[in-house]
Amino acid sequence: MKIIKRNGAEVSFDITKIINAIRKANNEVSEGNRLSEAQIQEVAKNVTALAKDLTRAVSVEEIQDFVENQLMDQKAFAVARKYITYRYTRTLVRQSNTTDARILTLIECNNEEVKQENSNKNPTVNSVQRDYMAGEVSKDLTRRILLPRDIVEAHDEGIIHFHDADYFAQHMHNCDLVNLEDMLQNGTVISGTFIEKPHSFSTACNIATQIIAQVASNQYGGQSISLTHLAPFVDISRQKIRSEVAEELAEVGIKDDEHIARIAEKRLRDEIRKGIQTIQYQVVTLLTTNGQAPFVTVFMYLGEARNERERDDLAMIIEETLNQRIQGVKNEAGVWVTPAFPKLIYVLEEDNIREGSKYWYLTNLSARCTAKRMVPDYISEKKMLEFKVDKNGEGHCYTCMGCRSFLTPYLDENGKPKYYGRFNQGVVTINLVDVALSSHGDMDEFWKIFDERLELCHRALMERHKRLKGTLSDAAPILWQYGALARLKKGETIDKLLYGGYSTISLGYAGLYECTKYMTGKSHTDAEAKPFALSVMQHMNDMCKKWKAMHNIDFSLYGTPLESTTYKFAKCLQKRFGIIEGVTDKSYITNSYHVHVTEHIDAFTKLKFESEFQQLSPGGAISYVEVPNMQGNIPAVLAVMQYIYDNIMYAELNTKSDYCQVCGYDGEIAIVEEDGKLLWECPHCHNRDQGKMNVARRTCGYIGTQYWNQGRTQEIKDRVLHL
């Protein structure tokens, strides 16, 4: 059994430390109030059993809570007081400097919590450690100075989660849709250098990757770009190449237009290949100032093209993007593996969804890519036009920001829809399971506590808004001055972009399944329990609408992609309420509105069921189906994609993509348990060295490749197939 120390380091459980701590407290009281040695041993034994029952690494704080409770059970109140006093005194000493120990263990790579915090950051790399060190300082400032005490306490207790506190000290926003079109067409400035409109497709791709890196270094969430913004440069290259070919052939006496066109198209295809390769490899190999490859999503939507020529050119770009992702990237052993980024989104529309439609070949290619490399994810144009409707009653189709955060429909001062150049101010998540358990099953009490917790989230979200208010455009020129998000003047604040719906701010939620299970005794997939679950969703939407009217800020309900927080929430719930079967008996809680990962349900039923909840999560959410290796069954992948088109706005297929560098095994790397800890193991050679294997899994809407904490690992292990 493992113990997580306060500095994040993981050590083996040692019962003698419990016994010695109790003995010290015992010796401080009068003889008549002391425990016998047998009683001390019994307390230590009971604490050990309680820790083992949690089937995960237990924190020192949890162990001490168990000791206090056991001392009370023994009616050793004097000993318990001494133990609690000593614990409190040590806490005060530690609080005199809250960051040193964590930073030191981080540098030495033995901070288990930080090592597993982000599945796309390698904590042994200097740049990642530098970002984490800065994050520890930021969190310390945030906790002690910047946030109200009750919000900090609610965050610590897992009642809410104040996201990205490690970036809160700076005036930074969450995620955005980069206005690549403006930057490429009108020029931009990078590191003080003016970058003019590119004169070829390959140059446009190169500039795009520089923009991606700059944007990633000035925010902390995901960003999205559209391939449509690169499409006009295909024809610029075409005309340039045709002129060069005509000139070359004229020198040898050839003036055949058909011959010129054929050679020019071949060279153009080669330039498209090189341009897309630049984006693929640059994104994978870039390390931004936050210590990881840019979290970027590439949007592939034929419907964005302005004319048939541009649409066909965009189709060529999409085709090349899919082909290169199917191939993958080489790992250090020279083997083709699945990269985490860029994330790809492919829009399903009438021109590509049915066999025989003009761009069906792209959809077929997309299905092969999903089966092999887990992307792209799919947006249904049909459903999105139904759900994302502006004040004039017109529907719009556009990409999310990063993995799932969606902007609300917005019309600019000219009455035209605007999405690129907009952003999200930040996220605070409510733990719905804690609301339910705090009510003890009393429905009236549930709604009362729910409103109190939502108001807490409201105040926490306003702290995020106030932190951005007054930010000068000079803080991130690439974002605010040079076109990524705006063209503000030097010295101008970003305040006008924070109001009126230009940007959004997100109320996140987690654990709808467990909340419903506790309050109704049934899963929210049950017809009797579903109305309650929907009413919870509607109530949060109603509150967002109320806050929006109050502040003229676009609050929006968001299905939080809990990564490490799913484990944190689970541990906090177990500490506050104990183990409750079907509710707190896992080391994770369920993301957003999802059907529980252990619940047996077929892919089509799951997508249909979750579509109702996705519609009530306008700030973002994604549904998924868990599938086996589908490379030999592309028709089944296409069937799921066609079902997505008709039934749900945004969904993905989860499969596996692993490789063992020791023996060359390329099947599924297994999760095994040893001494209460979950480990990754090659089923062929039993290699457990995470540095010598490549594992790619879906984590909340994006691919993770750097492993996960114990809660998320258990969730991955528990997943059942839906197909």
- Give catalytic residue positions: 174-175, 401, 403, 405, 424, 558, 563, 701
Amino acid at 438: S
CB 86 within 8 A of CB 261: no
SS3 state of residue 348:
strand
Dihedrals φ, ψ of 651, to 5°?
-155, 165
Report d(CA 689, CA 360) in Å as an integer: 43
SS3 state of residue 219:
coil
Report d(CA 484, CA 567) in Å as an integer: 35
Task: Label each residue of 369-430 as H, E or C.
Answer: HHHHHCCCEEEEHHHHHHHCECCCCCECCCCCECCCECCCCCECCCCCECCCCCEEEEEEEE
Report d(CA 647, CA 530) in Å as an integer: 18
Q: Structure tokens of 321? A: 């993007």
The secondary structure of residue 311, as a DSSP letter, is H
CB 710 within 8 A of CB 691: no
SS3 state of residue 671:
strand
- DSSP state letters, 170-187: S----EEE--HHHHHHH-
Burial of 152 (0-12, 13-18, 19+ CB in 10 A): middle
Single out the residue of 659, 644, 645 nearest to residue 695, CA to CA: 659
Q: Structure tokens of 423? A: 């952003």
Contacts of 317 by beta carbon, 8 Å cutoff, 6+ apart: 227, 230, 231, 234, 272, 276
Helices (H), 423-489: 432-438, 443-468, 477-480
Q: Structure tokens of 538? A: 């509607």
Q: For residue 344, give the H/E element and its range.
A: strand 343-348
Q: Structure tokens of 670? A: 């297994």
Neighbour tally for 556: CB within 10 Å: 23
What is the pairing mode between strands 670-674 and 677-681? antiparallel
Single out the residue of 340, 412, 422, 377 nearest to residue 619, CA to CA: 422
Burial of 490 (0-12, 13-18, 19+ CB in 10 A): exposed
Query: For residues 679, 683, 686 and 689, what is the CA-based torsion angle, rounded to 10 degrees?
Result: -50
Neighbour tally for 260: CB within 10 Å: 21
Contacts of 684 by beta carbon, 8 Å cutoff, 6+ apart: 660, 663, 665, 667
